[in-house]
A and B are shown apart, each in its own frame.
Chain A
Amino acid sequence: MLTNRSIAVTKKEMTLIERLYIPAILHGLRITVRHLFKKKVTIKYPESRREFAKVYRGQHVLKRDEIGAERCTACGLCAVACPAEAITMTAGERKKGEEKLYREEKYATTYEINMLRCIFCGLCEDACPKEAIFLTDRITPSTFNRGEQIYGKDKLVEPIGKPIDISARQTKEVIEFKKNAAYAHNKVYNG
């Protein structure tokens, strides 16, 4: 009786009309037939997509810089930050003549994210000091076997000349934070 909303249960005898059930059935039929003409809530997925939140966290992308060199330096901070331990990589040293391919002297020869383990929390993105990894609004498609769910560099690194837009992911607060002098080694990136 705390809320004063409790209703005493009574076992009321049904009247003859109620016991016939026919008015109740007709009422039910009226309700269902009305739904026949209501607006449908289904979104036909591949043709039309539900509007995503600006900060939606979907499939990762490994960014390139202005000249098309990979930003990732294989520091492993994302792998450390990852709570699901989905990220593995091996580091390699940049050779002479590969300056156009890799931005730093050290780079990731392999970089794999296990999409079956990934929980799309975005901590890798937060951890990255090189603005290399971002989550995008792309959905990881389902596959027929587990192997295909381990995404290597072929699927993760953005194609040259066709940068994947992640400007929506960089909210005003993030950009403001990155202007901090302590992080001056890392330019604000808007590509």
Chain B
Amino acid sequence: MVPFIVYKLILVIVVFSVSLVVAMYSTYAERKVAAFMQDRLGPNRAGPFGILQPVADGVKMFMKEEIIPDVSNKWLFVLGPCIAMMTALMTGVVIPWGSSLVIKGQSYPLQITDINIGILYLLGVVSIGVYGIMIGGWASNNKYSLLGAIRASSQMISYELAMGFSIIALVMHTGTLSLREISAMQTGWHWNIFYQPLGFLIFIICAFAETNRAPFDLPECESELIGGYHTEFSSMKLGFYLFAEYINMFISSAVISTLYFGGYHMPFIGRFIHEGNWLTLLGIVFLFAKISFFIFFFMWVRWTIPRFRYDQLMHLGWRILIPLSLLNIAITGVVMYLTGRIV
């Protein structure tokens, strides 16, 4: 029997490195998807099909001169990207990457920690992520950075509300805050998307806003704000910000798959395979297939929808999504009352 601490450590290292590798290849995928949607080929020089491009980019980032502006608050300037990266990596710990592997009669759940308030933890960590952007933007002592940081913080705070409300409706339906229990109950076709379609729509829109992805990439806003909050950042500190965005995208996709698309479940697979461990391993594959689709979806949307104007963004957040999510809660309550699940 593997000691508890070793098993958890292995899991932590695997999740950590998988997050980094997926984020790394998301940058490659982003450039390829962008290119293909614009009838181009994308990076294809480094290695076959340009498969080594992320490595080349990484080397480039490390080799760049590191500039810290003279007028900046140096300590906070360094702290900003660290927080962004740290919070991005912290979210992965509550996601159930698969059910349990049984080795020699001992069950090993494929989740770093199953805290019973997993969703609250997620929301909490994500909202700390705003600090990374805000501190970085403010410490740069640059007006573009400050504007970008203000936009980012107001946008993320606004959309967190609607996101929280849409999750409340989901929690009413599932009756638990633990991500493991939520994904365990979505066997067969009992995916939550079929019970919470409106909630899913609100959640995915908010997920786009929370990760600062197009069409909600106002904090960066290349054409208006140079680079927004990371204008003054160079070298790997910039790399951290960009990387954190891709990790966030990966984790958001994982959360969407877990909350609404059955997590590691795939309908009908139980008919063909009965051996528990194989089922678990296949479950991981299915989860990653779902995650890959959503990462692709993020990119797909980026090259389809133009960026919002700032007032439109606020209008959508406060006057459409929040009332809609409240309505969703009410509808969920009424339906649950009518079907006799609450008395």
What does DSSP make chain A's interface, helix, strand, loop or mixed?
A: helix
Whether B40 lies near A31 (C-beta < 8 A) is no
Asked whether, in the complex, the Cβ of B305 is within 8 Å of the Cβ of A41, the reply is no
Q: B322 to nearest A CB, angstroms? A: 17
In the complex, whether B107 has a CB less than 8 A from a CB of chain A is no
Q: Is B37 a contact of A32 with CB atoms below 8 Å?
A: yes
Chain A interface residue count: which class? 10 to 19
Chain A residues with CB below 8 A from B301, complex form? 29
Asked if B288 lies at the interface with its beta carbon under 8 angstroms from chain A, I say: no
- Asked if A44 and B41 sit within 8 Å, CB to CB, the answer is yes
Closest residue on chain B to residue A46 by CB atoms = B45
Which residues on B sit within 8 Å (CB–CB) of A39?
39
Complex CA–CA separation, A93 to B245 (angstroms): 70
Nearest CB of chain B from residue A152's CB, rounded to whole Å: 32
Report if A28-B304 is in contact (Cβ < 8 Å); known contacts: A35-B36, A40-B36: yes
Q: Digit string of B290-318 for contact with A (CB within 8 Å is 1, else 0)?
A: 00000000001101110000000000000
Assuming the contacts A44-B41, A44-B44, asked whether A36 and B36 have C-beta atoms less than 8 A apart, the reply is: yes
Whether B41 contacts A33 by the Cβ 8 Å rule is no
In whole angstroms, what is the CA distance A108 to B40 when docked?
47
Q: Nearest Cβ in chain B — how far from A65, in angstroms?
A: 43
Which secondary structure characterizes the binding site on chain B?
A: loop
Contact of B37 among A36, A42, A44 (CB under 8 A): A36
Other-chain residue from A25, A31, A32, A42 in contact with B41 (beta carbon distance below 8 A):
A42
How many angstroms from the CA of A40 to the CA of B38 in the assembled complex? 8
Tell me the total A-B contact number using a CB cutoff of 8 A.
34
- A35 lies within 8 A of B38 (CB): yes
Q: How many residues of B contact A (CB 8 A)?
A: 13
CB-CB contacts below 8 Å: B29-70 with A: 33, 36-41, 44
User: Is A38 located at the chain interface by the 8 A CB criterion?
Assistant: yes
Structural contact, B300 and A33, CB atoms closer than 8 A:
yes
Q: Fill in one digit per residue for A115-142: 1 if any B CB lies within 8 Å of its CB, else 0.
A: 0000000000000000000000000000
Q: In the complex, what residues of B have CB within 8 A of residue A44's CB?
A: 41, 44
Q: Are B304 and A35 in contact (CB under 8 A)?
A: no
What per-residue 1/0 map shows which CB atoms of A62-106 lie under 8 Å from chain B?
A: 000000000000000000000000000000000000000000000
Would you call B303 and A32 a contact (CB within 8 A)?
A: yes
Within 8 A of B (CB), among A20-36: 25, 28-29, 31-33, 35-36
Residue in A32, A40, A41 with the greatest tally of chain B CB atoms within 10 Å: A32
Please give the distance in Å from B282's CB to the nearest CB on chain A: 28
Report chain B residues within 8 Å CB of A25. 304-305
Nearest-Cβ distance from residue A14 to partner chain B, whole angstroms:
14
Determine if A42 and B303 form an interchain contact, defined as CB atoms under 8 angstroms apart.
no
Query: Complex formed: what's the CA distance from A28 to B304 in Å?
Result: 6
Q: How distant is the Cα of A38 from the Cα of B37 in the complex, in angstroms?
A: 8
- Decide if B44 touches A40 in the complex (CB within 8 Å): no
What 11 new A-B contacts, CB under 8 Å, besides A32-B37, A33-B37?
A25-B304, A28-B305, A31-B304, A32-B303, A32-B304, A35-B38, A36-B33, A36-B36, A38-B39, A39-B39, A42-B41
Nearest 4 pairs of A and B residues by beta carbon: A42-B41, A28-B304, A32-B304, A35-B37
